[in-house]
Amino acid sequence: MLLTLSWLVPLLGALVLLCVGNRDGRRDALVRWLSLAVTLATFAVTLVIWARFDAASPEFQFVERHAWIPAFGIDYFIGIDGISLLLVVLTAFLSPIALLSSWGSIERKVKEFSIFMLALEAAMIGVFVSLDLFLFYVFWDAMLVPMYFLIGIWGYDQRIYAAVKFMLYTMAGSVLMLVAILGLAYLHSAATGTYSFDLLKLYTLDIAPQTQMWFFLAFTVAFAIKVPLFPFHTWLPDAHVQAPTAGSVILAGVLLKMGTYGLLRFSFPLFPEAAAYFAPGLALLAVIGIVYGALVAMVQPDMKKLVAYSSVSHLGFVVLGICAMNMQGVQGALYQMLAHGVSTGGLFLLVGMLSDRRHTRLISEFGGLKAVMPRLTAAFMIITLASIGLPGLNGFVGEFLIMLGAFRWDPRFVVVAGLGVILSAVYMLWMFQRVYYGPVTHEENAALPDLRPREWAAVVPLCAVAVVMGVFPTLFLKPMEASVNAVVQRVQVAQTLRAERP
């Protein structure tokens, strides 16, 4: 019941908001506090789940199962293991922060904005907790709609183009996954006589290698678009740049993780043989993405775009770690997912604050802000360093583990990926320098207000988590260990078993 609450609370919150009469925006304050309260309640629920989570067990916990559409063997089947647990917590953690960030920038249609944010949160958590492929797909697609509206209504100038592109790209990928899901259920019915979308049952299915290849591709393209992996990334800069700050935070913090989560949860364990076949190719795309994202980020004049491309680069690391498919690689990937959620979410938040004040995001419009707004500068500093991967902050642990894992698998990728680490330091610090150091080049910037209490409330938790994650990684690595081990074992055993098969 607890796990159901984690996605039901925000959904019910959205429904309650729907009933709040707010025609001409007189009750905006009420709506804001209400939605914040709902997200905080959700966060509390996820923390309780974390507290009660048994880290030693690789099994799915908090499992709930009810028959939903029995004719097709579709169940309402949810549960979490160490892989999804922290992603759920991350989602619930970022949502109130995103909402807080919108208090200053979203002026019109606050009620509708809050409803879409809450609906989005519900769908995102739903994606992470679903263990039934049908349920997963429902949440996966349902999530697009609120995000589409968030970008399209409250975004910047090119918002419509970005929103439609986001929607169509993601859908185009996911419908092929739909066919593959149906195909899996059909294979299950061919093997056992009944349809099933139960992930645990489908794990045990013996699929012919040829079929695996097609299904793996169908799933992986859907996830690769979401990640986004190198050639599929073109929707990302548009969506990120045009989205309102809250949208960007959620997009970078959570939505992108769904792609890598999907690889880890579905593509690899469901089709281990195909995964072994395609892993080097995927890893190649990942390292191309690492370097490409970094290089493109370097020349961006727009801060938001820079951060967006840095996401392409960082997510490349995650995919690389997953492709390595060993303990260190996968754990690192998972850790990097969390770290990226916090640090890039934070970057978008801070860039959003700057852009709220100046209504521009061009790096050249800023300069010397350190003297004007020292607190914001400090926060930006911490987050920037976290994003680069400075030891002692959250980015380091993940990247280090990924490199370690990838080195054990194929050192060549690590060489190129290492280049990405260096480049990331270059573009991030360069941006930081241009924005915050030096003399104040624009007069308008001289009197910018520093962080307000509301903004403190959003920034401090992020910085704190970035530090905690860097200093006490065990706190986060421990719960995921058993589950990651289980996934790695499953994939490797299946691969060796089938390699021996004539």
Partner 1 sequence: MFSSGIDAVVPMLCVTLAALAVMGAEAFRARGEQLPLGGLGVVGLVGAAISAVLLWNRNAVSFGVVVADNFGLFVTLVLLLVALLTIMFSSTVVRRDGLPAGEYYALVLFATAGMIMMATANDLLVVFIALEILSIAVYVLTGIRRDDSRAIEAAFKYFLLGAFSSAFFLYGIAFTYGLAGSTRLDRVGTYMAAQSMSGNPLILVALGLLLVGFAFKISAVPFHMWTPDAYEGAPAVVTGFMSTGVKAAAFAAFARVFLSVFEPFSGEWAPLVWLLAAATMILGTVVGVAQSNLKRMLAYSSIAHGGYLLVGLVAANQVGKAAILFYLLAYAVTNLAAFGVIALLGTREAANDELRDYAGLWHTRPALAALMTVCLLSLGGLPPTAGFIGKWYIFSAAVSAGYYGLAVIGVLTSVVSVFFYLRVVVMMYMTDRPAAIAPPPVSAVAMAALVASIAAIIALGILPTPVLDFAAQSIATIF
Among 34, 63, 138, 416, contact with partner 1 (rule: CB under 8 A):
138
Contact pattern for partner 1 over residues 56 through 95, marking x by CB under 8 A:
------------xxxxx-----------------------
We find the least distance from the C-beta atom of residue 191 to partner 1, in angstroms, to be 13
Alpha-carbon gap, residue 159 to 148, rounded angstroms: 10
Contact pattern for partner 1 over residues 193 through 232, marking x by CB under 8 A:
--x-------------------------------------
Q: What is the largest CA-CA distance in the chain?
A: 74
Among 36, 40, 44, 178, contact with partner 1 (rule: CB under 8 A):
178
User: Which token pair is 182?
Assistant: 């149906």
Closest CA to 335 of 321, 353, 323: 321
Among 153, 200, 298, 467, contact with partner 1 (rule: CB under 8 A):
153
In a 10 Å sphere around its CB, with 0-12 CB exposed, 13-18 middle and 19+ buried, how is residue 116 labelled?
buried
Q: Does 144 interact with partner 1 (rule: CB under 8 A)?
A: yes
Contact 48, 101 (CB under 8 A): no
User: Which token pair is 275?
Assistant: 């995964």
Q: Does 163 interact with partner 1 (rule: CB under 8 A)?
A: yes
- 156 CB-side CA count, 13 A: 20
Q: Stretches 25-33, 152-160, 380-388, 483-491: which one binds partner 1 (CB under 8 A)?
A: 152-160
User: Which token pair is 171?
Assistant: 């859908």
Q: Which is nearer to partner 1, 194 or 433 (CB)?
A: 194
Among 189, 360, 485, 495, contact with partner 1 (rule: CB under 8 A):
189
We find the least distance from the C-beta atom of residue 219 to partner 1, in angstroms, to be 14
Q: Which is nearer to partner 1, 159 or 340 (CB)?
A: 159
Q: Does 179 interact with partner 1 (rule: CB under 8 A)?
A: yes
Closest CA to 265 of 12, 484, 29: 484
Q: Stretches 174-182, 365-373, 433-441, 464-472: which one binds partner 1 (CB under 8 A)?
A: 174-182
Alpha-carbon gap, residue 451 to 82, rounded angstroms: 36
- DSSP H helical segments within 299-326, as ranges? 303-324
We find the least distance from the C-beta atom of residue 142 to partner 1, in angstroms, to be 5
Contact pattern for partner 1 over residues 13 through 52, marking x by CB under 8 A:
----------------------------------------
- DSSP H helical segments within 193-271, as ranges? 199-203, 209-226, 235-242, 245-250, 256-262, 268-270
Q: Stretches 146-154, 361-369, 410-418, 455-463: which one binds partner 1 (CB under 8 A)?
A: 146-154
Q: What is the 3-state secondary structure (H, E, C) of 389-437?
A: CCCCCHHHHHHHHHHHHHHHHCHHHHHHHHHHHHHHHHHHHHHHHHHHC
We find the least distance from the C-beta atom of residue 372 to partner 1, in angstroms, to be 34
Q: Which is nearer to partner 1, 144 or 393 (CB)?
A: 144
Alpha-carbon gap, residue 225 to 238, rounded angstroms: 14
Q: Which helix (H) or strand (E) holds 68?
A: strand 61-69
We find the least distance from the C-beta atom of residue 138 to partner 1, in angstroms, to be 4
We find the least distance from the C-beta atom of residue 83 to partner 1, in angstroms, to be 24
Q: Which is nearer to partner 1, 157 or 500 (CB)?
A: 157
Q: Stretches 182-190, 241-249, 389-397, 483-491: which one binds partner 1 (CB under 8 A)?
A: 182-190
Q: Which helix (H) or strand (E) holds 346?
A: helix 327-358
Closest CA to 320 of 222, 256, 403: 403
Q: Which is nearer to partner 1, 170 or 313 (CB)?
A: 170
Determine if the peptide bond prior to 228 is cis (ω within 30°). yes
Dihedral angle sign, alpha carbons of residues 121, 125, 127, 132 = negative
Q: Torsion over CA of 187, 191, 192 and 196, rounded to 10 degrees? A: -10
We find the least distance from the C-beta atom of residue 195 to partner 1, in angstroms, to be 8
We find the least distance from the C-beta atom of residue 20 to partner 1, in angstroms, to be 14
Q: Which is nearer to partner 1, 131 or 462 (CB)?
A: 131
Contact pattern for partner 1 over residues 106 through 135, marking x by CB under 8 A:
----------------------------x-
Q: Does 186 interact with partner 1 (rule: CB under 8 A)?
A: yes
Contact 389, 308 (CB under 8 A): no
Alpha-carbon gap, residue 282 to 263, rounded angstroms: 11
We find the least distance from the C-beta atom of residue 118 to partner 1, in angstroms, to be 15
User: Which token pair is 364?
Assistant: 């050249």
Alpha-carbon gap, residue 297 to 396, rounded angstroms: 20
Q: Which is nearer to partner 1, 107 or 444 (CB)?
A: 107
Interface residues with partner 1 (CB under 8 A) are: 68-72, 134, 137-139, 141-142, 144-145, 148-149, 152-153, 159-160, 163-164, 167-168, 171-172, 175-176, 178-179, 182-183, 185-186, 189, 195
